[in-house]
Amino acid sequence: MSAEVKEMIPFFDLKLQYRQIEGEIRAAMDEVFQQTAFVDGPFVARFEEEFAEYIGTSQAVAVNSGTSALILAMHALGVGPGDEVIVPANTFIATAFAVSLVGGKPVFVDCRRDTWNIDAQAIAARITDKTVGVIGVHLYGAPFDVAAVQQICEAHNLWLVEDCAQSHGAEYKEEKVGRFGVLSCFSFYPGKNLGAYGQGGAVLTDNVGLAERMKRLRNYGSPQRYYFDEVGHNLRMDGLQAAILSVKLRHLDAWNERKIEIANRYRAAITKGKGKWQCHPGFSHSVYHLFVIMHPNRDGLMTHLNDQGIFPGIHYPVPCHLQKAYEHLGYKAGDCPNAELLSSQCLSLPMYPELTDAQVERVIEAVNGFEG
């Protein structure tokens, strides 16, 4: 390799993290193998208890993905044909699919131009007599304006579900997100702030009745082996994933702190005009699942960074309301202008705790060096 070839900086790298915790992970996995507790069982129960305690709810129901968590939440709340659920246009598609998969209809609303999170005014404008609830997403790790959304929900007798798939440990007014909705849904996809080594998810709540119903629904609607009270799913979490998540939960705060440090450096050092980023009001303590910048020549900036060995991501290139899957709902370009602009200009810079200071400086220099 020649001296000029620069080391590649990927958008994300899970191998570095594994090397730090390899011993702990292998020991935890071995315990699961020794007990052959592969599906649900004691390791899942332990992780549920630990994660509920970490967030600050009394109940946690672990499942096999974040998407499953959202589907289970919609099912438990009784969403079905004829029901409308308001969701942000700029989220990962699973937020909306969960509504559709139980027979409901997602109603997409725009984000705010400053925080890129759901716009409470836009929610109010889309409420009809069919609306049953709102799913708010703490996008990129940054809490949405919970009080503003709660106020609208209360005024119209709607439930609020939090999609916390990108916000493990984020705080709204010094309280962890995941405590504000009647249910809150988490994903443990490997790339999330708390990620399994496979897939996982959880629904958290303080509502014991809903938690018990979800525990039955994730297990074929079964209160007792081979007795089935209602039609249910198989959404149980693997013991291995739970044991791995218990190990990784112990490191989550330190990893989040490092991500915040990197984000602060990006925000301080990227020259104004070289990009815009998400605005964080005083109530918002983000854990920076992603560090997204907007640039009018996003594709040019992408090529420029790729040429220097830096590989950002795009989250997400097409907003939900313009996806082919929702063609039948009849949305058109211009319906959610802020979300559409974000989709066309967003770029996610490398963001993971193991990035070195030197790598962060290289990303900053490369962004600042873009003329276009």
Phi and psi torsions of 111, nearest 5°: -95, 170
| Least distance between ligand PLP and beta carbon 74 (Å) | 12
- Of 190 and 221, nearer to ligand PLP (C-beta) is 190
Comparison of 95 and 360: residue with beta carbon closer to ligand PLP:
95
Q: Would you say 339 and 111 are in contact if contact means Cβ atoms under 8 Å apart?
A: yes
The closest of 371, 69, 92 to 237, measured between CA atoms, is 69
Least spacing, CB of residue 97 vs ligand PLP, in Å: 9
CB of 142 to ligand PLP, least distance (A): 12
Which residue in the shown chain puts its C-beta closest to ligand PLP?
66
Is-contact 107 251, C-beta < 8 A?
no
Nearby residues of 275 by Cβ (< 8 Å), 6 or more positions away: 293, 294, 295, 301, 347, 367
> Residue 23, CB half-sphere, CA atoms under 13 Å: how many?
1
Q: Which is nearer to ligand PLP, 17 or 184 (CB)?
A: 184
| Least distance in angstroms from the C-beta of 108 to ligand PLP | 14
Select 158 or 165, whichever has its Cβ closest to ligand PLP: 165
Complex with ligand PLP: residue 163 or 238, whichever CB lies closer? 163
- Spell out the residues 6+ positions from residue 140 whose beta carbon is closer than 8 angstroms to its own: 116, 166, 278, 286, 288, 289, 290, 291, 292, 315
Buried b (16+ CB within 10 A) or exposed e, 100-121: bebebbbbbbbbbeebbbbbbe
Q: Which is nearer to ligand PLP, 67 or 246 (CB)?
A: 67
Secondary structure (3-state) at 350: coil
**Shortest Cβ 335–ligand PLP spacing (Å):** 20
CB distance 229 to 216 below 8 Å: yes
Output 168 or 362, the one with its CB closest to ligand PLP: 168
Please calculate the CA angle 245-312-201 and round it to the nearest 5 degrees: 25
Residue 104 or 201: the one with the smaller Cβ distance to ligand PLP is 201
Q: Which residues are near ligand PLP by CB under 6 A?
A: 65-67, 91-92, 94-95, 137, 163, 165-166, 187, 189, 199, 201
Residues 6+ apart with CB under 8 A from 246: 28, 43, 46, 47, 50
Cβ at position 73, least distance to ligand PLP in Å: 11
Strand partners, 153: none
Transcribe 168-234 into DSSP letters.
TT-EETTEETTSSSSEEEEE--TTSSS--SS--EEEEES-HHHHHHHHHHTBTT-SBTTB-SS---B
Least separation in angstroms between CB 343 and ligand PLP: 15
Least distance (Å) from ligand PLP to the CB of residue 125? 23
CB 7 to ligand PLP: min, Å: 29
CA dihedral 204, 206, 208, 210 (to 10 degrees): -50
Q: How far is the CB of 200 from ligand PLP (least distance, A)?
A: 7
* CB closer to ligand PLP, 92 vs 255: 92
Please provide residue 179's backbone torsions phi and psi, each rounded to the nearest 5 degrees: -110, 5
**CB-side neighbour CA atoms (13 Å) of 332:** 0
Of 131 and 187, CB closest to ligand PLP: 187
Give start and end residues of each alpha helix (H) in 36-140.
Answer: 42-55, 66-76, 94-101, 120-126
